[in-house]
Structure 1
Amino acid sequence: MTPKEGTGFTPFHLVYGGEAVAPVEVGIESDRVLHYNGENGGRRWMELDMVDETRDKAIARLTAYRQRMRQNYNRRVIPRSFQVGDLVWKRVKPVGDVKKLEAPWTGPFKVIEKLRSGAYYLEDAEGRRLDRPWSANHLQPYRAG
């Protein structure tokens, strides 16, 4: 088994405190099987006593790994926030046979309501409210000229 990314231990090791011996290793007499003796029992009990500490170390490593992943993700996120009355471009949702040279954005649209979730209700140039809210990920600020 290979170590799980971020913890350094396999799931089997985290649960049972040691690595599994595959049936193939038993049949071909691997080094682990050849060097096993009765004295390993005491070492095994000591390893079992250390299981909680091993899990705590794995949790600490996994937490650090997740924090690095979060920082890496957040570094590339472009925060967008609009106010009521702002003009925005709206991403065109491809439907059917969309041509390669068609514009990816349409607009301008006016922000008429901001939801707590970060979504926005829009209205078009004729004052018609769009039927659903749009995420800021699908909007860009409108800059004329």
Structure 2
Amino acid sequence: MTCKGKWAEELPWVLWSDRTTPKTSTGQTPYSLVCGTEVVLPTEIMVPTARYGLLKNDVNNAELSHDKDTVDELREMAKIRVAAYQQRVANVYNKHVHIRTLCVGDMVLRKTFQNMMDMTAGKFADTWEGLYLIDAVVGRGEYRLATMDGMRVPRAWSALHLKLYHV
């Protein structure tokens, strides 16, 4: 293990590669969003490429001033792409969400939480308990419950923890 403890020496190169890699959400590199221009890699300076080796100073200065003038447009386009990307991610996530609407008077079962389970039952313990009636709709997806005898259950319960009981 001769490399142990050498991560601190490699960290600047890892950060450099992260900052110069285009991100999916923005379509730009973080470096270009901050500085307004694409980075010139150290290898392009050592081994001249068409992008770096054939550029003259006056053309380079004109390109840099153009990049500084258009950096705000670049950032606005990145904001638009981020919003579109977040919308796509939310659509994929919400594709499997099923809204449960319960009405007053519906019979439901309530999820049994681990602190309420019988510890001696093991893996065969009940995961749903009781038979309750929806007494009132408190808010969006929140319900007050009552036992079949009419006694109110303390606090409101989320629809995530309730399951409709079919007779």
TM category (shorter chain) comes to 0.7 to 0.9
2:139 pairs with 1:142:
no
Aligned-partner residue type, residue 158 of structure 2: S
Q: Distance in 2 between matches of 1:12 and 1:85?
A: 59
TM-score of the two chains, using structure 2 as the length reference: 0.71
2:124 pairs with 1:105:
no
Of the three residues 143, 147, 166, the one matched with 1:124 is 147
Aligned length: 138
Q: Distance in 2 between matches of 1:117 and 1:32?
A: 60
Between the aligned residues of both structures, percent identity stands at 34
Name whichever structure is richer in helix by fraction.
2
Taking a change above 3 Å as real, the CA distance of residues 138 and 32 of structure 1, as seen in their structure-2 partners, is farther
Of the three residues 97, 110, 114, the one matched with 1:90 is 110
* Residue 156 (structure 2) aligns with: 133
What are the residue-to-residue correspondences of 1:15-94 with 2, within 5 Å?
Answer: 15-19=34-38, 29-32=42-45, 35=52, 38-39=57-58, 40-94=60-114
CA positional deviation for 1:54: 1.0
CA RMSD of aligned residues (A): 2.3
Aligned-partner residue type, residue 143 of structure 1: H
CA positional deviation for 1:19: 4.4
Runs of 4 or more, structure 1, over 4 Å off, are: none
SS of equivalent residue, structure 2 residue 57: coil
Unaligned runs of 5+ in 1: none
CA positional deviation for 1:47: 0.8
Deviations 1:79-136 (A, max 9, x none): 1011111111111111274722212111211110102232001112332211111111
Q: Distance in 1 between matches of 2:45 and 2:84?
A: 32
2:33 pairs with 1:14:
yes
TM-score of the two chains, using structure 1 as the length reference: 0.80
Larger RCO: 1 or 2 (CA < 8 Å, sep 6+): 1
CA positional deviation for 1:4: 3.3
Q: Distance in 1 between matches of 2:70 and 2:141?
A: 47
Unaligned runs of 5+ in 2: 1-18
